Structure 1
């Protein structure tokens, strides 16, 4: 089914992969078959163990709570993005920020936005940027107020970019009562009154298109977006503003006609546009190429349209990425029909990195014992976080199996797609005698069973 597209764009053929990969569907629950070693790589001896990672995260959480007074929930969130087992570097970061006058609540906001600062050299990541702002006339009070409100400034690269961004933020946060009636100040005021948050206003201000610097075109664009019902607090509102501001009415009509030729009705084009406004930004060549690539993968024209309606971002996905996704599924042992089922049921899988898909399938099939066809029938699970979502639930399931409290593996949909409260009701609360232990496993207070 896929050979025609892959023969011309890849050096390997899918049927060769199928011959190399041992079937995974008969794997037993407690341990993976040795055959699993062919499609899946195993951790090396130098890799940190789950226990090592758990200790680092625990150390990080306690440090953040004790040093900054963060809530356990926020500290947990930060520890999942950056963790450490020594306080030397994070102490240096906090000392530096305090030396510039930042209060602990302001530091908490900065660290929550950029947890990586805790594990990087503060001299290179922070001091140089803060010092440069001061050299360019920013007062200490301005730096602490503006940077703490918009920590994104510290993520900018290049001195010109940092100071320019700082000036924009200063204009929005401190000059709201400025009597100058420039297009920019007037338009920013309009967007603010509509409810557009600061972080989205900043992106508009520093964009090359500068839609907030226009007048008639800006007003017309905003009117169209508001009439279509876009939420001003969402990024889609800003994306739609870019599209209407940058493209002429004639160009937009032409893009709509392209989708009509591909089988969409006008209403379907605009309903899909509301899901992802950049739908209309791509060239006719790119749009038609994406449709062609999906068809060559084995989807019918109707199925291609359904995929685009569900996941319009796929229009901007490269041909190589789409084909690569199909390759990954088949390389892992899914049949051609199962690979298509995955794409049709959860097109977002097209955008997943191959190593991410690989690690999740390895765990769900090799460790938990679900069959490949189970994953293919519920592909949304491939989009879930392995560490934050899949592992806590599977830890509970494995504990129940090891204790003999359930006789067989539950359906993957029951274990991984049911709402949290339903999962707890079905797999934790009904086993009252071990419920406290299961809760501890679910929340990660004890060592993982599933890894």
Structure 2
């Protein structure tokens, strides 16, 4: 059964233990799930005792930081009755310190499994995958060890999970998705026939197993019946979507079919209250179905933020139509970027309206380095002043500075300026003090500057 499924798919395509850290861990716990009110105070288990236990078993500060960030609930587990027996059991079975720390760092939720035997089973399976990928690469053939795991006598839920995850791995699903599927309780790898049918649907729709969308689509088909999916499609049809448009959205963001009728309808109506008409709302949701994640309150706050900064209602609508992600940006993010673009670089709000995707660019990684290069060119007088459509002091148009690729930017504003290249490359690379003295490859362009 599983071999035919595979054939079908190929055919189709130092942590500080201080009060500060303690406060951070409590914050992580509070934000870890929709039920964070249960953890509104410091957990009964002392987080320091958990950290001490991990340190004593060879985990580095970096690894512990990664574990707590990935799975903050670990801090609520009792170190003596829950965590220690599992760590000791793994060591008694021959797990080296390096294997133990590497695997738990990658998949900390493995320590939440009930019973040492269950933990050991998942641990061995994860170790096989990691070691196999190191030796042969993700697309290499599975080792005999993995095949033995997938066809082992392990039965029930654990057996299904291991077998199904092995199938997904052979299809090319990356480690980071496999491990989260393996250790979670309610996931689409728990079944057998239903799993096979769900994977077949996802493959038939052309999803690439190497992407997160493949896993999202698998969730949807596994968790929802055909009748439920049909009902969700009908909700969109009532709002003006064609059936093919609904599936276009699904291909962009599979979770678009997971929302309730109430949520879908409310998002539609909220966008209309922003000034969009029915046709424009359909267009926005088609472009960015992820905007349905934004609550009514968040969308309202977004509108208030843009209008408060000085954009008109019509300008906001124009930006949303061009860049629907606008409705999901936080007020702080919008203000910081506008302050930099308009307040410091002296472009105008109309410049932003003309290229709203700029609000999605990283301030630290894209805007600041590129604009730093432009400022140096202007200050040194080597850039022509008064170029049309630019900002104050001869700053070039926003689009020519921020909307181009790294390669185009470097050719346009760095490489042609001779003796200034080392200084400009240092700024572009984020280092304003040191010259650029090594070889740097930027999206296909190899630069050697000394």
Cα-Cα RMSD: 3.4
Aligned residues of 2:107 and 2:179 also touching (Cα < 8 A): no
Q: Structure 2 residue aligned with 1:268, among 236, 239, 245? A: 245
| Residue matched to 2:102 | 148
The whole-number CA distance in structure 1 between the counterparts of 2:115 and 2:367 is: 39
Task: Provide the TM-score with structure 1 as the length reference.
Answer: 0.68
Aligned residues of 2:250 and 2:257 also touching (Cα < 8 A): yes
Task: Provide the TM-score with structure 2 as the length reference.
Answer: 0.68
Cα distance, 1:116–1:189 mapped onto 2, change above 3 Å: closer
| Residue matched to 1:417 | 403
| Residue matched to 2:427 | 441
Q: Structure 1 residue aligned with 2:160, among 183, 207, 221? A: 183
Asked if 1:210 corresponds to 2:164, the answer is no
The aligned runs of 1:103-142 (5 Å cut-off) are 110=63, 131=84, 133-139=86-92, 141-142=95-96
Give the Å deviation of 1:316.
2.4
Query: For residues 46-105 of structure 1, what are the alpha-carbon distances to aligned partners after superposition, in whole Å with 9 as ceiling and x for unaligned?
Result: xxxxxxxxxxxxxxxxxxxxxxxxxxxxxxxxxxxxxxxxxxxxxxxxx99897467xxx
- DSSP 3-state at the match of 2:311: coil
Query: For residues 113-149 of structure 1, what are the alpha-carbon distances to aligned partners after superposition, in whole Å with 9 as ceiling and x for unaligned?
Result: 57989xxxxx999x99985642454447355325414
Cα distance, 1:153–1:186 mapped onto 2, change above 3 Å: closer
Unpaired runs of at least 5, structure 2: 1-51, 129-144, 386-393, 435-450
- DSSP 3-state at the match of 1:229: coil
The whole-number CA distance in structure 2 between the counterparts of 1:288 and 1:169 is: 44
Aligned residues of 2:103 and 2:126 also touching (Cα < 8 A): no
Give the Å deviation of 1:153.
3.3
The whole-number CA distance in structure 2 between the counterparts of 1:115 and 1:134 is: 17
Give the Å deviation of 1:110.
4.2
- DSSP 3-state at the match of 2:414: helix
Asked if 1:359 corresponds to 2:320, the answer is no
The whole-number CA distance in structure 1 between the counterparts of 2:104 and 2:361 is: 29
Unpaired runs of at least 5, structure 1: 1-94, 118-122
Give the Å deviation of 1:328.
1.0
Give the Å deviation of 1:425.
1.1
Cα distance, 1:447–1:172 mapped onto 2, change above 3 Å: closer
Query: For residues 384-435 of structure 1, what are the alpha-carbon distances to aligned partners after superposition, in whole Å with 9 as ceiling and x for unaligned?
Result: 1111111100000111111122211111111001111111111112222322
The aligned runs of 1:7-26 (5 Å cut-off) are none
The whole-number CA distance in structure 1 between the counterparts of 2:88 and 2:58 is: 16
Aligned residues of 1:298 and 1:340 also touching (Cα < 8 A): yes
The whole-number CA distance in structure 1 between the counterparts of 2:126 and 2:234 is: 40
| Residue matched to 1:170 | 124
Q: Structure 2 residue aligned with 1:195, among 137, 157, 172? A: 172
Q: Structure 2 residue aligned with 1:247, among 199, 221, 224? A: 224
Moved more, 313-322 or 209-218: 209-218
| Residue matched to 1:58 | none
Cα distance, 1:314–1:236 mapped onto 2, change above 3 Å: same
The whole-number CA distance in structure 1 between the counterparts of 2:433 and 2:327 is: 33
The whole-number CA distance in structure 2 between the counterparts of 1:248 and 1:143 is: 45
Query: For residues 319-366 of structure 1, what are the alpha-carbon distances to aligned partners after superposition, in whole Å with 9 as ceiling and x for unaligned?
Result: 111111111111111111121122111111222221111111111110
Which protein, 1 or 2, shows the higher relative CO under an 8 Å CA cutoff with sep ≥ 6?
A: 1
- DSSP 3-state at the match of 1:264: coil
Aligned residues of 2:401 and 2:409 also touching (Cα < 8 A): yes
Q: Structure 1 residue aligned with 2:258, among 281, 287, 301? A: 281
Q: Structure 1 residue aligned with 2:327, among 342, 346, 350? A: 350
Give the Å deviation of 1:185.
2.8
| Residue matched to 1:21 | none
Asked if 1:295 corresponds to 2:254, the answer is no
Aligned residues of 1:184 and 1:213 also touching (Cα < 8 A): yes
Cα distance, 1:298–1:132 mapped onto 2, change above 3 Å: farther
Asked if 1:231 corresponds to 2:208, the answer is yes
Aligned residues of 1:211 and 1:218 also touching (Cα < 8 A): yes
Aligned residues of 1:100 and 1:144 also touching (Cα < 8 A): no
The whole-number CA distance in structure 1 between the counterparts of 2:248 and 2:119 is: 35
